[in-house]
Every structure is written in structure tokens, then in C-alpha cells.
Structure 1
Amino acid sequence: MTRWAFDLGNTRLKYAPLLDDGGLGRVLAVAHADADFEARVAQSLPPRIDVAHVANVAPPALAARVLQLLSRHCTRISLARTQPALAGVRIAYADPRRLGVDRFLGLLATRAETQGATLLVGVGTAVTVDLLDASGRHHGGRIAPSPTLMREALHARAPHLPARGGHYTAFASDTDDALASGCEGAAIALVEQSLRDATALLGQPPLLYVHGGGAPSLLPHWPQARLVPNLVLRGLAVWARTETGVDA
């Protein structure tokens, strides 16, 4: 059986074949904004896929486009949904629908790879923070704008403030560096405070896992962190093994 995993995020579609051993094949990625987005995706897929496992956090119109595209290649499409408990993870949210499926799948992948308490940080359009203890209990999390989104929001309200550029420094002596330092510093402080709070709650510091497109630029500030690429796709592989997907 041919199975693929698809992570439809806010800026990109990432996808990969699922291997017989439960791992991922070569990961591909195409930005939604690319003019030839649909053609590039279609050309990269095999003519026929038995099952497509999909995680979607994109707007409805874009999701409909992508699902229509996948339906031309896939016999069955299984949409991942957040569950109260699955694969050793028990979420903190009373209403599972309120926890984004990307965060849920990240927790599944984390639990599959380590039995230790973990603070999971995603850096994409938003910065998400989730705490998972050693028993698999999710203690909830935090959401904030990413440094990139902060810069874009400032630029939209004050166009003279550039949306890009600058370098992080303790005390900047020009505007570009001050913007980079302030926006990156907000994310750094959020994670560091979350680590302190997690340590107080659990009685010991958790592991720090970081993922997402914006993670590499922040990683130098957390020498103890582990970069975990393609975490949502890896969570989809766990989801696929449970065979609890909901058909589209």
C-alpha cells in the first residue's frame, strides 16, 4: 500500500511518502505563494497513492484547493484530527477541537521519540509552546506571534519600520538591529520563561525540542535545545499507524 503524509501549513505544503518501517521518505516542500504551486505538487507525486494522511491548518479556500488536487492522485484522504488521548499522549484541552492539529501531531511525534518530559516549541507564523511530561500528559501551552509576524505587523502599521533586516544584539544602536533584537527577544524570553515555569511545575527541567521554519535563527540562544525537523510529518506517521483517520 502506498501512503503519503501531507502537512498543509500557513505558508507551505510539506509532504513525504510513508515507509514500511513507519518512517518518512524524502520530504518535499512547496510554498503556497509560488505561481506554479499546484503544477509542482502534481508533478512530484506518483500517479496513484492509496492513502493520503493530511494535517491542515490552512484557510478553508486553500485547503479545498489542495484536497481537490490530492483527490486526483489519492484513492483515500484521511484528515488528522486532534484526539483527547492517542499513542501515549493525553491532551490538556477539554475540547480537542481547540488544540491545533499541528500542535497535537508534534506532541505525538515527541512522545514517540522520547519518554522524558519535553517542552515543545514551534516557530512558524506563530510561536507555540507545549509541555509534555514523562507520563505523556500534556500540561497545555502558549501561543504568540513569531518574530517574523511581529516585524510584518509593525511594518504594516508603520511602513518606515522595515519588515526584514537587522541582527540580534543585547542593546542595539540602530533601528534595524533594534527591531530584530526586540522581536527575536520576545520569542526568546517566552521560551525561557516557559522553561522556568515547566521546571517549577515538574520539579526538574524538561528537554527542549524546537521545530518549524523559524527555528534555526533562534536556536543559538538555547544551547540545550534539540532541533527536530519535519515534526508534524513525523506525527502524521504516528497518526497513520493508529489507523484512526477521518476520511475526507
Structure 2
Amino acid sequence: MKLLVDIGNSRVKWAIMDDNGLTESQSFDRNKSGIKASLNKAWKTLADIKAIYVANVAGEKIAEQLSDWTQKQWNLTPKFIQAEKKHFGVINAYDEPEKLGVDRWLSLISARQHARLAQCIIDCGTAITVDIVTKAGQHQGGMIIPGISIMKSSLVNNTDALTADTDNQEFKTLATNTYSAIHTGTLYAVTATIERIISDLKESFNNRIRFIITGGDAEALLPLLSDDVHHYPDIVLRGLAFYARQDKTKTSVRKKTKPEQDEATAAVKESDTDAKLESESAPPAKENTQNDAQPVTDSSTKDKPKPARKPRKTRATKPKAAAKTETQASDTSLPEEAI
């Protein structure tokens, strides 16, 4: 089994890939100080993991913690995917391809594979990213917008009177308390932005474009968006699955234990010794004599007379067809057999 992991700015989403495909994804909140405690709860009972594929936008510290944990738990080193210039039929539009967020890159790959139209992927996480890929696989670029949580925290952090948490507030078009008003206002701000993007892109692509929404805030936004937006919550994991299938015959790097290293070294030495003894004990090969090297001639074919060549037949010439009459040459209505 292969473990696929999508590490975002605030959550970690994961799924198992086996011969039957992807299992249903699971997730847990990511503590900014580390993830080892969360990994113990989520993965301690997982067994038979052969490889690990990771999309990480949370930085090197989290990557190191994940690698340390998987080394101790399964003796496996995760494979961290990075954005590329071109892969799986998608061409990255960024001037520096590796600077494109890996979550955005994997979403493009996943969306592109079954596309008959251009695809617009709207990922509503801590930040909201928008990317477009044509049906031919050309990434057109995109945009980044502050997400709902950033908008809320910006208001709270820059307003002295606001100290309470604005999450889990009631959504009302006309709110009757400050925190519900912030919750409703940020939802409307994001929704209006997305709807304007959709409208502009429909015009640019003559309605030949499909819209996909994903990310942690997608479910909160879906009721406010038009019906032609499709929800794909696991689009990043499905992009990772393409890399996992590509490496079907490979596994994540596994470090050998000390006993395994000693055993391998001993086996190599033993093999070299056996080969040396076999070489020394083998009898020398006999050299071919001059007579052995001479080709054998067949006396039965020597000086055998060649058969006489048969006289060449002359081909009879067919009599020339009579020339067409003037009527036949000009009358196209005549049947073929009459010509």
C-alpha cells in the first residue's frame, strides 16, 4: 500500500492507495509547532505501507518531522513532489516552474486528465488560489486571494475591540452581532470574487470552461455559488496518485539496518571468493590447431559442371487496339463496354 499525504497550511489530508484505487480521505488539523503528536494518533495503526508520496506547502520543518516519524515507524523516506515544467500532459506557465505551489500543480494534473474543456481550479484554503489549464494541457497562470480565515484574522488583529474567535458563527444575510457579521461579510466577499472570476472566464473561453472548487472552505462557499461549480475535495491527492502509479515498480528509499548491511557485505565477499577459486581451479582451454581452423571443402561440389541456360522465350505482342472513332471519343454518355 502507498500513503498519499497533502500537507496544507492548516490541515493534513491523507489517503491510502492500493490495487483498488484510493481509499476515502481523512484529515486532521496541523499544529503550527509540529505534527508528530497528530501522526501518532492518525497513523500509528497503519501497516504494510510500502511508499509515501507527499505534497507539502508547510515548509522544511514540517517535512523533517514527517520524515523522522516515517523513518522510525516504517523505515521509509517520503517522496516529496515538486512542481515541474512539464509532466502528465500539463505544461507549467510559471517562469520558474518550481515556484508554483505543489498543491496547485497536482490539482492541474488531476483536472487535466479527464478534460474535454479548459479547467478552472479554485482552491479555497488558507489562501484562495485560482488556476486555469486548457484542454491541451497548457497552464494559463492564475491568481492568489486571501482566504476566509485570513480575512477574519485581519479584522480581529487590526481592531482593538475584537478579541473573540469568529469561527463557527451563524451565517445571516443581516447579522445581529459583530462576529456573525464578520463571518457573513467574509463569505460574501469571497463568493463575490469567485463569481466575478467565473463570469470573466466564461466570456474569455466562450463558455468552454469547467469550474472545480476544492479546499477546506469549499463546503461553506458552495451554497452561495452557482450550480455549475463542481466540488472535488481530494483533487490534490488524486494528483499525487499519478506520481504513485508512475513509480509502480519503485518504492520509497529504505535504509538498511546494520545487520542487513553486514549480511550484504559478507555475501559480496563470499561471492568474490567463490569466483576467484573457480577461476583458479578451472582447466586451461585448449587452443585450436591450424588444421582445426581450416575450412572444410565439399569435394562433391568441386568442378561440377553448371547446367546449360534455357533459351529465353520471346513475349508475343498484342495487336494494337483500333483507334476510337470521333463519336466515341467525344460522347461521354456511352457505356464503358462500348468504349
> 3-state SS of the aligned residue for 1:216?
helix
Q: CA deviation at 1:228?
A: 0.5
1:3–1:49 CA contact under 8 A, matched in 2:
yes
Q: CA deviation at 1:76?
A: 4.2
The one-letter code of the counterpart of 1:224 is: D
The answer to which structure, 1 or 2, has the higher relative contact order (CA under 8 A, 6+ apart) is 1
CA drift at 1:41: 3.1
Among 20, 23, 26, the alignment partner of 1:25 is 23
Partner residue in 2 for 1:69: 69
Aligned ranges 1:37-48 → 2 under 5 Å: 37-46=38-47, 48=48
Of 154-163 and 51-60, deviating more is 154-163
- 1:204 aligns with 207
Cα distance between partner residues in 2 of 1:154 and 1:189: 19
Deviation per CA, 1:6-33: give whole Å up to 9, x if none: 1111122222111225x31232222223
- Residue correspondence of structure 1 range 142-221 to structure 2 within 5 A: 142-161=143-162, 162=164, 163-164=166-167, 165-169=169-173, 174-221=177-224
Bigger mean CA deviation after superposition, 55-64 or 102-111: 55-64
Provide closer, same or farther for how the CA distance between residues 200 and 158 of structure 1 changes in structure 2, counting only shifts above 3 A: same
What is the rounded CA distance, in whole Å, between the counterparts of 2:30 and 2:6 in structure 1?
12
Question: In 2, are the aligned partners of 1:50 and 1:76 still within 8 Å (CA)?
Answer: no
Consecutive unaligned residues of structure 2, counting only runs of 5 or more, are 254-339
Aligned-pair CA distance for 1:166: 4.0
- The answer to whether the 8 A contact 1:109-1:232 is kept is yes
Shift of 1:125: 0.6
Q: Structure 2: how far apart are the matches of 1:180 and 1:30?
A: 23
Residues 82 and 104 in structure 1, CA contact (< 8 A), matched pair in contact too:
yes
Distance in 1 between residues matched to 2:42 and 2:224, nearest whole Å: 35
In 1, Cα distance between the equivalents of 2:19 and 2:36? 34
- For residues 99-110 of structure 1, the aligned pairs below 5 Å read 99-110=100-111
Shift of residue 74 of structure 1?
4.8
Partner of 2:230: 226
Question: Which residue does the alignment assign to 1:54?
Answer: 54
- Between stretches 155-164 and 133-142, larger displacement belongs to 155-164
CA deviation string 1:40-77 (max 9, x = no partner): 1341421x422111111113222211121122325342
> SS of 1:199's equivalent?
helix
For the 8 Å contact 1:168–1:184, the answer to whether it is kept is no
Q: 1:31 to 1:174 in 2, by over 3 A?
A: closer
Which TM-score applies when normalising by structure 1?
Answer: 0.88
Amino acid across the alignment from 1:152: S
Mark the CA change 1:74 to 1:192 in structure 2 (over 3 Å): closer, same or farther: farther
Match of 1:117 in 2: 118
Displacement of 1:167 in angstroms is: 1.6
Q: Is the 8 A contact 2:36 2:65 kept in 1?
A: no
Displacement of 1:35 in angstroms is 8.7
Which amino acid is 2:203 matched to? Answer: A
Displacement of 1:94: 1.6
Change in 2 beyond 3 A, CA 1:158/1:15: same
CA contact (8 A) 1:167 1:181 kept: yes
Task: Provide the secondary structure at the position in 2 that maps to 1:236.
Answer: helix
Could you tell me whether the CA contact under 8 Å between 2:93 and 2:138 is conserved in 1? yes
Structure with a larger share of its residues in strand: 1
Distance in 2 (CA, whole Å) between partners of 1:195 and 1:29 is 29
For the residues of structure 2 that align with 1:172 and 1:117, how far apart are their CA atoms? 38
Paired residues, number: 244
8 A Cα contact 1:50 1:74, kept in partner: no
Residue 136 of structure 1 is matched in structure 2 by 137
Deviation at 1:182, TM superposition (A): 2.4
Specify the alignment match of 2:262 in structure 1. none
SS of the residue corresponding to residue 63 of structure 2 reads helix
What is aligned with 1:8?
7
Match of residue 92 from structure 2: 91
User: How far apart, CA to CA, are the structure 1 residues paired with 2:98 and 2:213?
Assistant: 24
